Amino acid sequence: MAFAERIDSSVPTVAELTKRAEAMLPRLRERATKTEQARTLPADTMRDLFDAGFLRILQPRRYGGYEMGWAVHADVARVLSRACASTAWIVSVVGAHAAIVGRLSKEVQDDVWGKNQNQLIATASARTKGGARKVDGGYRVSGVWHFASGIDHSEWSMVTTPVEGNDPKDHSKFVRLMAPTRDIEIVDSWHVSGMRGTGSKDMKWDDVFVPDARSINAHQSFGKSPPGAAVNPGGYLYEVEFMPFFGSSLLGPILGTAEGAYADYRDITRVRTGALFGGSVAEQTPVQQRLAEVSAEIKAARLLYETNNAMMHRKGEARQRFSQEEILEINRDRAYVARLCVNAVTRLVRQMGAMGLFNQNPVQRHYRDITAMATQVAVNWDRCMNPYGAFELGVPLGADSRLTQTEPLRKP
């Protein structure tokens, strides 16, 4: 990765980061049950992530970050999720928020990283009620936003929201607003079936004032040359259109979870004897066949993941714009990779018998985690598949396609 190759002794290589991630796996495995029960990352895991530098991968160098290329953060998360998908999620999906902040004004970046460069930044876009009202010198924000992963450990929080008086469906008028998390109430709603450790709780904003300096139009922040491009010259992620990259962060944890489930399943099954009749489970032909099929599914997912990330990195470095077709294909592959991984893990867990039901069984946890991750809109099957199909067939794309690009899509 070209960014990492720049000579700077404080920036680790990708290989070094991978080594650190592998070294962390035993600790994460040990803490996995505790993490689930706590429904948020333990403080010692957060300290480990900061110490290893995993949350600086997409942080600007100006603020002590590594400013690496796409998708080093997801690659590191892929390793971590062999042991704990929730921890990986914080590194990859929440860690990528550093790139968003790196696209904002210098004032905001100084606020966030000026005093302490170890920052996790919580964001939320999903909202059932509330919004922002423009007032003199800023916005007043009230409402409840959902799925703010890692908010227990974040000093700063961001919401994406419509502004009163605008069409609430017109995404181009949405704003992103930053506030210190201490100004916001964290509502512990995170009682869930999977990805429990991410602590993706609700943010309750109660008439919080956000000055103009901490606001930005949502499209401007993800579009080409946002304010941060001048603050952090050299890092393409602060300069190019961000939308094509955005949704792919979660593939690292998804793929890694499938790989983790596979390895755990294999190790358990190698020595397992049937609980009713004895006999080696490994010698059963259907068991063998499914394992081979699963391994092929995961390999196909890995090849798609690696090929597309390499393509995105290449285009990012060259500051090339993505064509519509490329964006739709990236999205299609994203859903496709997620489905391959979910199918793979589902196949494994179904084959474990009642042993697979216990919470201590790691395959079962991987299964709940991957099922939870696959509900994310960025890998939603219908939303990713239909626009690609419509494009290929030359008919107008449905309304869902607005998730895929900052500008409305047109027919070729």
Partner 1 sequence: MVMTPRPVCASGERRTLDDLLGVVAQHAGAWRDRALATERARQPLPETTAELFATGLMRMFVPARFGGAALDWDAPVALGRAIGRVCPSTAWMVGVVGAHAAWVGRYPGAAQEEVWGDGADQLLCGAMVAKGGRIRRDGEGYRVSGAFGFASGIDHAKWGFVMGSVEGSTEQVSCLMPRTDWDIADTWFVSGMSGTGTKDIVVHDAYVPPHRAVRSADLLKADPPGATINREPIYRAEYGPYVGSSLLGPILGAAEGAMDAYLAITRERKGMMFGDRVAESANVQSRLAESTGDVRAAALMTEDQMRTLVACSRGDARLSEGERLMFARDRAYVARRCSEAVERLVKHMGASGLYDDNPVQRFHRDLQAMAQQIGVNWDRNMLPFARWLIGGASQDHSNWRR
CB 126 within 8 A of CB 146: yes
Q: How far is CA 275 from CA 272, 281, 348, 401, in A?
A: 9, 10, 17, 49
User: With CB under 8 A as the contact rule, which of the stretches 20-28, 43-51, 243-251, 334-342 interacts with partner 1?
Assistant: 334-342
User: With CB under 8 A as the contact rule, which of the stretches 124-132, 196-204, 226-234, 262-270 interacts with partner 1?
Assistant: 262-270
Q: Closest CB to partner 1 among 271 and 276?
A: 271
Burial label, 65 (beta-carbon count in 10 A; 0-12, 13-18, 19+): buried
Residues 202, 330, 370, 102, Cα dihedral to 10°: -40
User: With CB under 8 A as the contact rule, which of the stretches 112-120, 182-190, 200-208, 279-287 interacts with partner 1?
Assistant: 279-287
What's the closest the beta carbon of residue 330 comes to partner 1, in angstroms? Answer: 11
The DSSP result for 270-304, as a single string, is HH-B-TTT-SBGGG-HHHHHHHHHHHHHHHHHHHH
Check binding of 343 to partner 1 (CB under 8 A).
no
Q: Closest CB to partner 1 among 232 and 308?
A: 308
Rounded Cα gap, residues 199 and 181, in angstroms: 15
Output DSSP code: residue 323: P
Number of residues that bind partner 1 (CB under 8 A): 41
Q: Residue 206: enclosing H or E segment and its boundaries? A: strand 201-211
The closest alpha carbon to 196, from 345, 35, 342, belongs to: 35
Name residues contacting partner 1, limited to 121-180 (CB under 8 A).
none
- The one among 54, 190, 336, 367 contacting partner 1 by CB under 8 A: 336
- The one among 9, 128, 193, 285 contacting partner 1 by CB under 8 A: 285
String marking each residue 287-326 x if it binds partner 1 according to CB under 8 A: xxx-xxx-xxx-xxx-xx--x-------------------
Q: Closest CB to partner 1 among 295 and 361?
A: 295
CA 171 to chain centre: 21
Q: Closest CB to partner 1 among 225 and 375?
A: 375
User: With CB under 8 A as the contact rule, which of the stretches 1-9, 309-317, 327-335, 358-366 interacts with partner 1?
Assistant: 327-335
Q: Residue 329: enclosing H or E segment and its boundaries? A: helix 324-350
Check binding of 269 to partner 1 (CB under 8 A).
yes
The DSSP result for 124-190, as a single string, is E--EEEEEEEEETTEEEEEEEEEEETTGGG-SEEEEEE-BTTS-TT-GGG-EEEEEEGGGSEEE---
Sign of torsion over alpha carbons 74, 76, 81, 86: negative
- The one among 15, 276, 354, 393 contacting partner 1 by CB under 8 A: 393
Q: Closest CB to partner 1 among 93 and 304?
A: 304
Check binding of 389 to partner 1 (CB under 8 A).
yes
Q: Closest CB to partner 1 among 67 and 259?
A: 259
User: With CB under 8 A as the contact rule, which of the stretches 56-64, 90-98, 250-258, 380-388 interacts with partner 1?
Assistant: 380-388
Q: Closest CB to partner 1 among 16 and 293?
A: 293
User: With CB under 8 A as the contact rule, which of the stretches 48-56, 85-93, 152-160, 393-401 interacts with partner 1?
Assistant: 393-401
Q: How far is CA 154 from CA 158, 184, 252, in A?
A: 10, 11, 22
Rounded Cα gap, residues 89 and 95, in angstroms: 8
Name residues contacting partner 1, limited to 23-62 (CB under 8 A).
none
**Cis peptide preceding 71, ω within 30 of 0:** yes
Rounded Cα gap, residues 394 and 412, in angstroms: 7
Tokens of 374: 């696959």
What's the closest the beta carbon of residue 256 comes to partner 1, in angstroms? Answer: 18
Q: Closest CB to partner 1 among 380 and 406?
A: 380
Name residues contacting partner 1, limited to 182-241 (CB under 8 A).
none
Rounded Cα gap, residues 158 and 203, in angstroms: 10
Output DSSP code: residue 68: P
Residues in contact with partner 1 by CB under 8 A are 266, 269-270, 280, 282-283, 285, 287-289, 291-293, 295-297, 299-301, 303-304, 307, 332-333, 335-336, 340, 381-382, 384-390, 392-395, 398
